[in-house]
């Protein structure tokens, strides 16, 4: 049980990078970008192919990230220069990437990474070579963490990306990017190239998505052409759950919320799959239900609160009214 | 400073809805001149602003700012030289960002945007000094979201953002039209102050004839895409709303169509 839980925390932290990417496109740029389903696979495909051909996992991961950046830029160009609707440019890129990803993987729909060196095996090896791994691992295994090196690497990496994102969004360029999502004509009147900023923003968003994909492939031990299906909804679920629970007071807080949202999403899915009547194949359905729930629940709570408030006001008024009547009668007599 | 040469623009050419928005418009604005533009709806005032700012490209003619031809230049590049305030108070600011962040973005208008923090201590002090001149207490609310400000406060902030980097041209597009009378008066006052303080070359479009007479050193009246009246100096100072209406009737042989222009 706790092993399954920590397993989902680990996966959640790696998927949080993807969720941060979705946060940049959906929230910061207000651009519903569906490229994600394709660029996630692009990241894992490039990384897997380079690793199997003997490249260093670090270079392979970086190349995967760059591939995602490029894909995102093309979506941005389709929208800004080709004047195609944001949703449609994302869908077009997603469908194009399906074929491109197959090409990258040499026509196969699956590239296994069994017995290959990955970022995670590298770190586990390094950890073991320190000599203190035995006692630490054993004590951590007691609380359910099977592979401490992996979970801590993922944690450190995700938080480094989070802090860079926080910093970037407060720079002059980053602020112009946020303003592009907030009020395009305003920031254009302050000499910002909004087309360029959208291309850059969608590029960065998909770079994070592809980085996440590259890491997921290395953790899971394979890249698969179908592994990106529904990825955008998982990203959105993370963003919405995180924001609903932790709020959006500041950028740092929101990016933190998104990471926690990604982890919570994984935990919820894992718990749901523990139920006897659900199968692994039901995962996408569970995801859809989670997102629908996360979208509707806050509004339901809000409207119920409003209703209560109104009833209370009404009650107060009806209590006050007879009192007034009486005082009115007193005055007249 | 600003020169328009034979600028023409027709919308929907060759269709039933053909509209000559600008017909051979010639304007030359000297440095420090404050031009007010009046005219009824559809006279071409907004089109005039849009061809100068670059959001619309004219069919023919040339536009020069500081002697440099800007006609083919993209809007965002041109806006390095132009400060703009829009009619809608929400249009000139980013509502989900803070006052200091908005000012910082305006501060970057004529500079290259870098990967350095947009707001730092030094900039904050500068912004605070500028905000104090508005007398709205905004200097104490630097980290408040702009979306929480009232329309008048937002418009005052927009005006500050458009002017404090001293643009070559300041363009005001009916920037008090969406405000209630007392707020409009406040913004009109701030406008006069900042234009005076920075000696800005200004173009102001307005529906309100009285405002056009009160502000500025020169006035043009437009009708059907043409500039039909151009007065400056003492002649402008002696103008009244009645005289303007008479002048319009004399020039066009008909009464001015829009009551809003008189009353507004």
Q: What is the pLDDT of residues B227-264, one digit of tens each?
A: 888 988 888 888 888 888 888 888 877 666 555 454 44
Q: Looking at residue A26, what is its pLDDT?
A: 95
Q: What residue has token string 């009214």?
A: A321
Is residue B9 predicted with pLDDT exceeding 80?
A: yes
Q: Looking at residue A244, what is its pLDDT?
A: 86
Q: Domain B2-81+167-263 in CATH: superfamily? A: P-loop containing nucleotide triphosphate hydrolases (3.40.50.300)
Using a CB-CB cut-off of 8 Å, the residues of chain B touching A194 are: 76
Mean pLDDT, range B93-102, rounded to an integer:
95
Using a CB-CB cut-off of 8 Å, the residues of chain B touching A179 are: 94, 97, 105
* Cβ(B102)–Cβ(A172) below 8 Å: no
Is residue B54 predicted with pLDDT exceeding 50?
A: yes
Mean pLDDT, range B138-165, rounded to an integer:
94
- Which candidate from A167, A168, A190 shows the least CB-CB separation from B105? A190
> Which positions ≥6 away from B2 have C-beta within 8 Å?
B27, B28, B29, B52, B63, B64, B65, B168, B169, B201, B203
Check CB contact of A185 with chain B, cutoff 8 Å.
yes
Is residue A292 predicted with pLDDT exceeding 60?
A: yes
Instruction: Provide the β-strand partners of residue B145.
Output: B98
Q: Looking at residue A326, what is its pLDDT?
A: 57
With a threshold of 0.80, does the pTM exceed it? yes
**Closest chain B residue to A248, measured at CA:** B96
B257 or A298: which leads in pLDDT: A298
Contact (CB<8Å) A170/B110: no
Contact (CB<8Å) B97/A175: yes
Secondary structure E strands in chain A: 110-112, 222-224
- Nearest chain A Cα distance for residue B110, angstroms: 7
* Cβ(B147)–Cβ(B92) below 8 Å: no
Q: Looking at residue A140, what is its pLDDT?
A: 74
Using a CB-CB cut-off of 8 Å, the residues of chain A touching B84 are: 189
Q: Looking at residue A34, what is its pLDDT?
A: 96
Q: What residue has token string 């480094």?
A: A160
Q: Looking at residue A148, what is its pLDDT?
A: 78
Mean pLDDT (chain A, rounded): 90
Secondary structure E strands in B122-205: 169-173, 201-205
What residues in chain B have their Cβ under 8 A from chain A's Cβ atoms? 53, 74-77, 79-80, 82, 84, 86, 90-97, 101, 104-106, 108-110, 113-119, 161
- Which candidate from B108, B117, B119 shows the least CB-CB separation from A190? B108
Is residue A89 predicted with pLDDT exceeding 70?
A: yes
Could you read off the pLDDT of A117-159 as tens digits, one per residue?
Answer: 999 888 888 888 877 777 777 777 766 666 777 888 899 999 9
Is residue A322 predicted with pLDDT exceeding 90?
A: no
Q: Looking at residue A255, what is its pLDDT?
A: 97
- The Cα–Cα gap between A147 and A145 comes to 6
Mutate to test the interface with B, among A30, A168, A191, A198 (most CBs of B within 10 A): A191
- The Cα–Cα gap between A304 and B23 comes to 59
* Residue A215: other Cβ atoms inside 10 A: 30
Mean pLDDT, range B106-128, rounded to an integer:
94
Q: How far is CA B41 from CA A109, B206, B218, B261, in A?
A: 62, 11, 21, 9
Q: Looking at residue A333, what is its pLDDT?
A: 45
Q: Looking at residue B46, what is its pLDDT?
A: 87
Contact (CB<8Å) B91/A193: no
Nearest to A112 by CA among A192, A224, A191: A224
**Does ipTM top 0.85?**
yes
Is residue B88 predicted with pLDDT exceeding 80?
A: yes
Using a CB-CB cut-off of 8 Å, the residues of chain B touching A172 are: 104-105, 108, 113-118
Q: Where in chain B are all domains bearing CATH 3.40.50.300?
A: 2-81+167-263
What percent of chain B has a predicted confidence (pLDDT) above 70?
96
Q: Looking at residue B264, what is its pLDDT?
A: 41
Mean pLDDT (chain B, rounded): 89
Q: Looking at residue B263, what is its pLDDT?
A: 45
Q: Looking at residue B111, what is its pLDDT?
A: 92
Q: Looking at residue A27, what is its pLDDT?
A: 95
**Closest chain B residue to A180, measured at CA:** B94
Q: Looking at residue A151, what is its pLDDT?
A: 86
**Closest chain B residue to A195, measured at CA:** B76
Least confident range from A80-89, A101-110, B209-218: namely: B209-218
- The Cα–Cα gap between B171 and B186 comes to 18
Q: Looking at residue B256, what is its pLDDT?
A: 64
**How do strand B82-85 and strand B169-173 relate by DSSP bridges?**
parallel
Mean pLDDT, range B55-67, rounded to an integer:
91
- The Cα–Cα gap between A149 and A155 comes to 10
Query: How buried is residue B34: exposed, middle or buried, by Cβ count under 10 Å (0-12/13-18/19+)?
Result: buried
Contact (CB<8Å) A172/B116: yes
What percent of chain A has a predicted confidence (pLDDT) above 70?
95
Mean pLDDT, range B56-79, rounded to an integer:
90
Q: How confident is the model at residue B165 (pLDDT cuts 50, 70, 90)?
A: very high
Mean pLDDT, range B142-151, rounded to an integer:
94
């Amino acid at each position: 049980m706790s092993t399954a839980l920590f397993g989902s925390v680990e996966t959640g932290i790696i998927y949080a990078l993807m969720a941060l990417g979705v946060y940049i496109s959906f929230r910061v740029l207000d651009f519903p970008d569906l490229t994600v389903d394709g660029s996630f696979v692009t990241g894992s495909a490039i990384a897997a192919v380079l690793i199997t051909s003997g490249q260093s996992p670090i270079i392979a991961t970086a190349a995967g990230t760059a591939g995602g950046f490029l894909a995102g830029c093309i979506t941005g160009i389709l929208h800004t220069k080709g004047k195609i609707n944001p949703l449609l440019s994302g869908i077009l890129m997603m469908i194009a990437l399906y074929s491109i990803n197959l090409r990258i993987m040499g026509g196969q729909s699956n590239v296994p990474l069994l017995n290959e060196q990955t970022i995670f095996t590298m770190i586990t090896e390094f950890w073991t070579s320190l000599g203190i791994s035995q006692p630490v691992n054993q004590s951590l295994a007691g609380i359910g963490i099977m592979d401490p090196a992996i979970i801590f690497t993922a944690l450190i990496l995700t938080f480094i990306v989070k802090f860079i994102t926080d910093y970037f969004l407060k720079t002059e360029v980053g602020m112009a990017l946020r303003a592009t999502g907030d009020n395009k004509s305003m920031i254009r009147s302050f000499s910002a190239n909004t087309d360029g900023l959208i291309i850059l923003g969608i590029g960065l968003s998909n770079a994070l998505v592809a980085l996440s994909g590259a890491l997921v492939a290395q953790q899971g031990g394979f890249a698969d052409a179908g592994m990106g299906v529904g990825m955008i909804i998982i990203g959105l679920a993370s963003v919405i759950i995180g924001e609903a629970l932790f709020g959006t007071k500041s950028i740092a807080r929101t990016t933190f919320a998104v990471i926690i949202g990604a982890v919570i999403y994984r935990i919820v899915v894992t718990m749901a799959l523990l139920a006897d009547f659900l199968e692994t194949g039901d995962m996408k359905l569970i995801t859809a239900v989670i997102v629908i729930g996360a979208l509707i629940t806050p509004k339901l709570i809000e409207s119920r609160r409003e209703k209560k408030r109104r009833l209370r006001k009404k009650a107060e008024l009806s209590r006050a009214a007879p009192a007034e009547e009486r005082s009115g009668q007193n005055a007249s007599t | 400073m600003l020169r328009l040469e034979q600028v023409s623009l027709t919308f929907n050419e060759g269709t039933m809805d053909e509209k000559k928005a600008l017909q051979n418009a010639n304007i030359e604005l000297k440095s420090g001149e404050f031009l007010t533009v009046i005219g009824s709806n559809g006279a071409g005032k907004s089109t005039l602003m849009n061809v100068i700012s670059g959001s619309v490209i004219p069919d023919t003619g040339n536009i020069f700012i500081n002697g440099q031809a800007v006609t083919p230049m993209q809007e965002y590049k041109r806006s390095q030289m132009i400060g703009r305030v829009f009619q809608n108070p929400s249009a000139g600011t980013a509502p989900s960002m803070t006052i200091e962040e908005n000012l910082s973005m305006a501060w970057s208008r004529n500079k290259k945007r870098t990967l350095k923090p947009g707001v730092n201590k030094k900039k904050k002090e500068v912004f605070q000094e500028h905000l104090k001149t508005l007398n709205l207490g905004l200097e104490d609310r630097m980290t408040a979201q702009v979306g929480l400000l009232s329309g008048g406060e937002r418009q005052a902030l927009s005006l500050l953002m458009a002017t404090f980097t001293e643009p070559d041209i300041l363009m005001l597009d009916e920037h008090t039209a969406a405000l209630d009378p007392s707020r409009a008066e406040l913004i009109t006052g701030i406008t006069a102050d900042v234009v005076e303080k920075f000696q800005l070359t200004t173009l102001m479009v307005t529906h309100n004839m009285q405002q056009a007479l009160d502000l500025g050193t020169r006035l043009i009246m437009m009708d059907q895409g043409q500039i039909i009246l151009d007065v400056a100096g003492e002649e402008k100072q002696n103008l009244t709303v009645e005289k303007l209406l008479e002048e319009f009737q004399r020039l066009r042989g008909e009464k001015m169509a829009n009551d809003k222009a008189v009353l507004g």
